[in-house]
């Protein structure tokens, strides 16, 4: 089976090279598709050098758009999504593949250790909402490290989400479709945005986009 890895990136010149080299070195990806989401730094040039295929936006469109465009551009039977700032730990993306090959689940979600501090309030909010709506408790509902089979691609392309609402809405779509979800422990290390002003801004943006996505979900059936 062909494995495609999608790496969305926005202003990640400090981390993206190490992440891509780790994926290549690990050898589990037949194809790496990088999506430059309107970066203002050297992210795009690094993606072009180390990816098999690169898509670049002139302006920032948000994670949902970047990832969904990457899905459409890939050719894999297994589609993996990895964050751009995993650095060396991106090698553990291999752990997301085996459960799909063994038909253990339809959607695989990998654990992430935040090295610089997220406060977890968005995560707890989503955990409660998913459990209340669907009766399913997930330890890592916001993890961007995910894998699924191509046969479900159209279902996830239908997902309507704002930016960082992607993971939440993917999970709800999977539950709605009756897909089996499996969370696995993998030593991913997510650099994060820290506790400073930018970190607070990032978490606030994530919160707003998740809430907006959930509001839209409540107004329709995805």
Output the DSSP codes for 162-214: -GGGHHHHHHHHHHHTT--EEEEEEEEEE----SSHHHHHHHHHHHHHHHHHH
Per DSSP, helices labelled H in the chain are 16-26, 43-50, 63-73, 98-101, 121-134, 153-157, 166-176, 197-219
Q: Report, as an integer, the average pLDDT of 11-30.
A: 97
* Domain span at 13: 3-219
pTM: predicted TM-score of the whole model, two decimal places = 0.87
Share of the chain above pLDDT 70, in %: 83
For position 192, what pLDDT does the model report? 60
pLDDT tier at 142 (50, 70, 90 boundaries)? Answer: confident
Q: How many domains does the chain have?
A: 1
Q: Report, as an integer, the average pLDDT of 178-184.
A: 94
CATH number (domain holding residue 9):
3.90.550.10
Residue 8's contacts (CB-CB under 8 Å, 6 or more residues apart) are: 35, 37, 63, 66, 67, 70, 81, 83, 84
């Amino acid at each position: 089976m062909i494995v495609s890895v999608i790496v969305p990136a926005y202003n990640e010149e400090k981390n993206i090279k190490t992440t891509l080299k780790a994926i290549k070195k690990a050898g589990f990806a037949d194809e790496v598709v990088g999506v430059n989401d309107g970066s203002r730094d050297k992210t795009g040039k690094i993606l072009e050098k180390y990816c098999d295929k690169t898509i670049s936006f002139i302006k920032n469109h948000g994670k949902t758009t970047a990832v969904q465009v990457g899905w459409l551009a890939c050719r894999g039977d297994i589609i993996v999504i990895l964050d751009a700032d995993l650095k060396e730990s991106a090698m553990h993306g291999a752990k997301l593949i085996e459960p799909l090959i063994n038909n253990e689940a339809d959607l695989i979600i990998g654990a992430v250790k935040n090295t610089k501090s997220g406060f977890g309030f968005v995560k707890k909010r989503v955990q409660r909402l998913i459990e209340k709506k669907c009766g399913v408790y997930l330890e890592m509902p916001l993890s961007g490290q995910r894998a699924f089979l191509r046969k479900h691609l159209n279902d996830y392309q239908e997902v309507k989400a704002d930016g960082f609402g992607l993971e939440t809405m993917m999970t709800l779509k999977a539950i709605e479709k009756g897909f089996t979800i499996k969370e696995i422990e993998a030593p991913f290390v997510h650099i994060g945005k820290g506790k400073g002003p930018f970190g607070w801004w990032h978490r606030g943006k994530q919160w707003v986009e998740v809430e907006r996505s959930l509001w839209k979900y409540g107004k329709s059936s995805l």
